[in-house]
A = this chain, B = another copy of it.
Amino acid sequence: MTTAPHALAVRAAALDAAAPLGHVRERFLLPDGVVYLDGNSLGPLPASVPPVLDDVVHRQWGTGLIRSWNGHGWWDAPARVGDLVGRLIGAAPGQTLAGDSTSVQLYNALSAAAALRSGRPLMVTDPDHFPTNQYLTDAVARRLGLSVHRVRPTGLPAFLAAEGDQVAVVGYSPVDYRTGELHDMAVLTEAAQRAGALVLWDLSHAAGALPVQVDDLGVDFAVGCGYKFLSGGPGAPAFVYVARRHHADWRPPVTGWNGHADPFGLHEEYVPARGVGRGRIGTPPVLSLLCLEAALSVFDDVDLTQVRAKSLSLTGFFLHCTDVLLGGLGFERVTPPEPERRGSQVSLRHPHAYGLVRALEDRGVIGDMRAPDLLRFGVNALFTTHRDVLEAVTCLREVTAKGAYVSAAQGAGTVT
């Protein structure tokens, strides 16, 4: 065991030397002494953000005042930033919009999708889907008098074979936020649509982390958040994608004045704007939106197939390190070993998950946990190194072997 760490260090160095995108790490202002493996929850600060925000605050808001709605392009920002995200998810321009939270976008998109398949009484979602997706599927179904069936992605084809003609909407995430398991978007999209249902993907854990091709796959709707792999800042605006073929017919229920066909005409009756633009609701949070725009410049000249290749190298090395270093310490590997079934994170199960994550944090290694017993480590190929991975697993080995984890009672209240 004494030679294993050295061999791993040599291997990490070799993998880092061979990996693409090494120069992109400089685009982030990462704090010294920190190994950050929680970019799948909150991306770190891109270097491009502070000067833009400074300009937005002082010159655009402070000096331009109300004139900046046109003079500095604030009014067009939801569409402009949406298209920047669209580029990362394989959406041609004019189908993606940035603004509001993922939850609000989900409510509007799920409602609109279900209404486009009226007469079909079922909505399908994943029992392992992030809670807000489940709550909003239930809320929309209740409102429209539909039922919700919770079906794991692996069981979807069989379920659809039996009851597919009853299904209005299938809403899934390509990446399980707890286990990091990657589902096949092409297979599931095709299965849902073959049954006549519409499909809504939540890309929160996929956008910016791996190549997604919503246009090519014929996805109907997608949403996602701006603050994970897009590094748009805490609570950055979300996005919604609506395939062009639905632009004439989709009807989001939250009809704010920004989504009116003629918003400054101040009409009494709502007439929806053309296309995805009717997904705009109220005035967007401009500071947060322009911060997201600035953050997206880290993707300039970045090839997402390289991002994916490096991400798989990082998670593969992570799993290798856990095999070598964490044996006999009570960990269970949760993330699938097969590359094609892995998102951009590694999850491990351990009864002291909470205390271990806290103990790692005290030593500068930041991951997170999900109740009750999952440790979650996200890699972001734009800045994570194989050396980071080795340092994290080595640290995890130390704190576990020493029993140096913080008990829940000691650390109550720290939840992220």
Binding site for B on A (CB under 8 A): 29, 31, 34, 36, 38, 41-42, 44-45, 49-50, 53-54, 57-58, 61-63, 65-70, 74, 100-104, 107, 127, 130-132, 134-136, 138-139, 143, 150, 225, 227, 233-238, 253-258, 260, 263-270, 281-289, 291, 361, 366, 368, 370-371, 413-416
Q: Is the CB of A371 within 8 A of B266?
A: yes
Can you name 15 extra interface pairs (CB under 8 A) apart from A100-B100, A101-B285, A136-B254? A42-B66, A45-B57, A50-B54, A67-B366, A70-B416, A101-B256, A135-B260, A136-B256, A139-B253, A143-B143, A225-B283, A235-B283, A235-B284, A287-B287, A287-B288
14 contacts between A and B (CB under 8 A): A29-B58, A66-B368, A69-B415, A70-B415, A101-B281, A101-B282, A102-B282, A103-B256, A127-B268, A135-B269, A139-B255, A143-B143, A225-B283, A234-B283
Q: Is the CB of B416 within 8 A of A103?
A: no
Knowing A236-B285, A287-B233 touch, does A65 contact B34 (C-beta < 8 A)?
yes
B-side contacts of A370, CB under 8 Å: 266
Most buried by B among A62, A103, A234, A368: A234
B-side contacts of A104, CB under 8 Å: 100, 104, 254, 256, 281-282
Knowing A45-B58, A254-B136, A371-B265 touch, does A66 contact B38 (C-beta < 8 A)?
yes
B-side contacts of A53, CB under 8 Å: 53, 57, 287
B29, B61, B66: which contacts A41 (Cβ < 8 A)?
Answer: B66
Q: Which residue of B lies closest to A75 (CB)?
A: B415
Q: Is the CB of A131 within 8 A of B268?
A: yes
A302 to chain B, nearest CB (A): 21
B-side contacts of A62, CB under 8 Å: 29, 31, 44-45
B-side contacts of A34, CB under 8 Å: 65
A204 to chain B, nearest CB (A): 10
Q: Is the CB of A285 within 8 A of B282?
A: no
B49, B57, B135, B267: which contacts A257 (Cβ < 8 A)?
Answer: B135
B-side contacts of A287, CB under 8 Å: 53, 233-235, 285, 287-288, 291
Q: Which residue of B lies closest to A58 (CB)?
A: B50
B-side contacts of A253, CB under 8 Å: 107, 139, 143
Q: Which residue of B lies closest to A74 (CB)?
A: B234
Q: Is the CB of A235 within 8 A of B289?
A: yes
CA distance A36 to B288 in the complex (A): 25
B42, B138, B414: which contacts A270 (Cβ < 8 A)?
Answer: B138
B-side contacts of A102, CB under 8 Å: 282-283
CA distance A275 to B282 in the complex (A): 25
A158 to chain B, nearest CB (A): 21
A22 to chain B, nearest CB (A): 21
B-side contacts of A138, CB under 8 Å: 255, 269-270
B-side contacts of A36, CB under 8 Å: 65
Q: Is the CB of A135 within 8 A of B255?
A: yes
B-side contacts of A256, CB under 8 Å: 101, 103-104, 132, 135-136
Q: Which residue of B lies closest to A44 (CB)?
A: B65
Q: Is the CB of B130 within 8 A of A257?
A: yes
Knowing A100-B101, A285-B235, A286-B233 touch, does A270 contact B135 (C-beta < 8 A)?
yes
B44, B70, B237: which contacts A413 (Cβ < 8 A)?
Answer: B70
B-side contacts of A416, CB under 8 Å: 66-67, 69-70
Closest 7 CB pairs of A and B: A101-B282, A103-B282, A103-B256, A234-B286, A285-B288, A132-B257, A45-B62
